């Protein structure tokens, strides 16, 4: 299996991808992705001079201040005695209590072995190590250890070679990457590790707890150091600085690997060229399709990750029957599950729900495929047999945040639950809240509430109970809001006199002309048609033949949840309305009435228009401010100006609340608030 490492770095983010091909001719797929952002660098491998903050004998652990937001967690099994020996493990009444080993305010040298995750602080160990290419140096250790991932014959060879080369101080661990290494490789690396240890000791002497005394290498160097083995043919890096760091590291530790590092200078982004971006985006989905037609569903919980295997559209081929079909899907799923674990860097407890198989040999086949795939995973894992329920339980080492945790944040609406309240539920709860509002504001006649249009439509329905509530309380309730609002939003924004609230709440006035998209024929009147703005319905007389078109209409009558309008003749349709007006770039122009998200067409699906604020516009026309003391805003630009004699004239169509509209003809004296 040949592999390639691709490194892409920019100003704020460094990404490393590992690509694998099962055969020489097969296409290389993304197997692992590592992402590190500025300010979010992994702490694993960092060494700190910390101060013990608290010792908890009941947990057999201590919390250590290492200068981070949260204290690190140090278990009794990770404590070293003053002579450098590891403390006897606790359990079954053996070993020493943690409060006998360390004390509060004691300064100790610790290393991060697991990044902080969610509310948990970093996991710490006093068994400090310094990693190289082939070896790991333990200043407080003794002897020589060899990776168990190597074959027994190779392990024996490396143990003998290193033992003859090195006689202390400290201990050494031979890494998997040392496969095939020679004596000169170990001699060179031991000298390099001793120099790093000398730097560590010097920094520790002048340090004051809590402080960082040794920082682990950058992400590209760490990944290449740990996984760049013989089966890798090359590493491609698009950043000059990272290229120099990687080549410098290999020149000191493994000069033979320098030729395998390539500096990419192409114009096309490196991750796009290798189709890595698509793989990263795929990690955010729940469903993963299998080549056969089956699929996986991955669900994350606080305690564990659950993976469900489904046959999907795969019905089987051949004469093997149902058992053969199920076995094929499960076998295919086993390989894909491991790929997804590596790609998403899923750790902790994992439960896989394979499709039930009747024959033991088939279960063994699927389990064998799973074990074989895990052999390619560098993270430690533990796998148990398939349970009678067809479940496979396993654990996988989790050291840092995976791609999903880095790229995403918790949904602010559902707060990670995956469900939100239905519009019906919010409407019913809203009725109860409105009853409380009426009781708390006895001096007010009417209220304006901001809700999602779906909720407003339910509340305005004759069967909702709103009319009964208004009759019971003697108050009026009006609603405004747009589709951008969360479904559970329910906010009292204004209270006061009926005339004032109604002025702001109603989206139109009789005589106004509005540009809308006519959606559908009227249910009861064959000659009429319907347009909508969010949940607000406009019934348009004589518009049955204009369904699907955008037309200028004149408002005839306005009610709380609906309006009646007439279609203007074709010669009165303005040419400048054929195009949508430009969308505002900020929220200041959002319609605070029926189109919170700035939608201008009556359907709520058409082009977005530059809109004003309905509530503020109404205040400007009526001269009445809100009860909460907000200042009236100037009248919208789309309002029709008056001439010197006090008569309004038709003006060109301009954008305003609820899309394109123009003023109605009206005779009378000039409004007192026209210029306010």
Residue of 452, 497, 460 lying closest to 475 (CA atoms): 497
φ/ψ of 470, rounded to 5, equals -65, -40
Mean pLDDT computed over 460-483: 90
What percent of the chain lies above the pLDDT cut of 70? Answer: 82
118-132, 359-373, 392-406, 503-517: lowest mean pLDDT where? 503-517
Task: Look at residue 24 and tell me whether its pLDDT is greater than 60.
Answer: yes
Task: Look at residue 92 and tell me whether its pLDDT is greater than 90.
Answer: no
Task: Look at residue 508 and tell me whether its pLDDT is greater than 60.
Answer: yes
pLDDT tens, residue by residue, 124-152: 999 999 999 999 999 988 889 999 889 99
- Confidence at 95, pLDDT banded by 50, 70, 90: low
Task: Look at residue 594 and tell me whether its pLDDT is greater than 70.
Answer: no
- Confidence at 312, pLDDT banded by 50, 70, 90: confident
Residue of 491, 352, 378 lying closest to 148 (CA atoms): 378
pLDDT tens, residue by residue, 184-223: 999 999 999 999 999 999 999 989 999 999 999 999 999 9
Average pLDDT over the chain, rounded to an integer: 82
22-26, 318-322, 537-541: lowest mean pLDDT where? 318-322
- Per the structure block, which two tokens stand in for 535? 């949940």
Task: Look at residue 496 and tell me whether its pLDDT is greater than 90.
Answer: yes
SS3 193: helix
- Identify whether the C-beta of residue 450 lies closer than 8 Å to the C-beta of residue 481: yes
Residue of 86, 190, 197, 78 lying closest to 133 (CA atoms): 190
- Confidence at 676, pLDDT banded by 50, 70, 90: very low
Mean pLDDT computed over 637-665: 39
φ/ψ of 180, rounded to 5, equals 80, 0
Residues in the chain: 676
Contacts of residues 324-331 at CB distance under 8 Å and 24 or more positions apart, as own/partner, are 326/355, 326/356, 326/357, 326/362, 327/357, 327/362, 327/365, 327/366, 328/292, 329/290, 329/292, 329/294, 329/355, 330/354, 330/355, 330/357, 330/362, 330/366, 331/365, 331/366, 331/369
205-214, 307-316, 345-354, 471-480: lowest mean pLDDT where? 307-316
| pTM, entire model | 0.72
């Amino acid at each position: 299996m040949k592999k390639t490492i691709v490194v892409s770095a920019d100003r704020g983010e460094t990404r490393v991808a590992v690509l694998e091909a099962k055969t020489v001719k097969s296409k290389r797929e993304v197997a692992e992705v590592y992402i590190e952002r500025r300010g979010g660098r992994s702490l694993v491998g960092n060494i700190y001079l910390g101060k013990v903050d608290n010792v908890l004998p009941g947990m057999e652990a201590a919390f250590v201040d290492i200068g981070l937001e949260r204290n690190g967690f140090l278990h009794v099994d990770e404590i070293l005695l003053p002579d450098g020996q590891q403390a006897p493990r606790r359990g079954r009444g053996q070993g020493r209590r943690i409060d006998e080993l360390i004390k509060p305010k004691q300064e100790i040298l610790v290393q991060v072995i697991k990044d902080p995750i969610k509310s948990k602080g970093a996991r710490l160990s006093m068994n400090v190590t310094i990693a190289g290419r082939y070896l790991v140096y333990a200043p407080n250790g003794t002897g020589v250890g060899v990776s168990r991932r190597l074959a027994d014959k190779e392990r024996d060879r490396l143990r003998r070679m290193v033992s003859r080369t090195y006689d202390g101080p400290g201990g050494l661990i031979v890494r998997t990457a040392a496969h095939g290494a020679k004596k000169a490789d170990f001699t060179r690396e031991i000298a390099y590790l001793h120099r790093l240890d000398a730097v560590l000791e010097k920094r520790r002497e002048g340090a004051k707890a809590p402080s960082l005394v040794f920082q682990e290498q950058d992400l590209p160097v760490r990944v290449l150091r740990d996984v760049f083995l013989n089966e890798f043919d090359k590493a491609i890096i698009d950043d000059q600085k990272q290229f120099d760091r990687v080549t410098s590291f290999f020149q000191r530790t493994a000069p033979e690997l320098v030729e395998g590092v390539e500096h990419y200078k192409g114009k096309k982004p490196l991750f796009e060229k290798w189709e890595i971006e698509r793989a990263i985006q795929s990690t955010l989905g729940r469903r993963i399709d299998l080549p056969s037609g089956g699929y996986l569903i991955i669900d994350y919980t606080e305690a564990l990750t659950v993976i469900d295997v489904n046959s999907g559209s795969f019905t089987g081929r051949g004469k093997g029957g149902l058992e053969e079909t199920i076995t094929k899907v499960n076998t295919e799923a086993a390989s894909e599950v491991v790929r997804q674990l590596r790609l998403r860097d899923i750790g902790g407890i994992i439960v896989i729900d394979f499709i039930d198989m009747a024959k033991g040999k088939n279960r063994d086949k699927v389990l064998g495929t799973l074990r074989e795939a895990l052999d390619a995973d560098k993270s430690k894992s533990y796998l148990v047999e398939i349970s009678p329920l067809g479940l496979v339980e396993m654990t996988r080492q989790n050291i840092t945040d995976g791609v999903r945790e880095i790229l995403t944040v918790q949904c602010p609406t559902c707060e990670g639950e995956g469900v939100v309240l239905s519009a019906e539920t919010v409407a019913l709860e809203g009725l109860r809240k409105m009853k409380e509002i009426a009781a708390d504001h006895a001096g007010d006649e009417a209220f304006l509430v901001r809700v999602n249009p779906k909720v407003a439509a339910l509340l305005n329905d004759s069967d909702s109970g709103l009319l009964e509530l208004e009759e019971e309380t003697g108050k009026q309730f009006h609603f405004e809001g747009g589709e951008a609002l969360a479904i559970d939003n329910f906010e009292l924004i204004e209270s006061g006199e009926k005339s004032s609230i109604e002025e702001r709440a109603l989206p139109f006035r009789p005589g106004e002309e509005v540009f809308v998209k006519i959606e559908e024929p009227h249910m009861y009147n064959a000659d009429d048609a319907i347009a909508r703005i969010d949940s607000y319905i406009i019934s348009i007389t004589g518009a049955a033949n204009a369904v699907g078109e955008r037309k200028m209409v004149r408002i005839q009558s306005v009610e709380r949840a609906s309006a009646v309008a007439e279609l203007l003749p074709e010669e009165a349709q303005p040419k400048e309305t054929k195009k949508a007006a430009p969308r505002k770039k900020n929220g200041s122009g959002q319609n605070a009435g029926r189109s919170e998200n700035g939608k201008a067409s009556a359907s709520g699906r058409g082009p977005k228009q530059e809109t004003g604020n309905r509530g503020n516009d109404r205040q400007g026309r009526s001269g009445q401010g809100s009860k909460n003391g907000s200042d009236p805003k100037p009248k919208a630009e789309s309002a029709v100006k008056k001439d010197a004699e006090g008569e309004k004239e038709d003006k060109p169509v301009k954008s305003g609340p609820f899309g394109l509209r123009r003023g109605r003809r009206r005779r009378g004296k000039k409004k007192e608030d026209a210029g306010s």
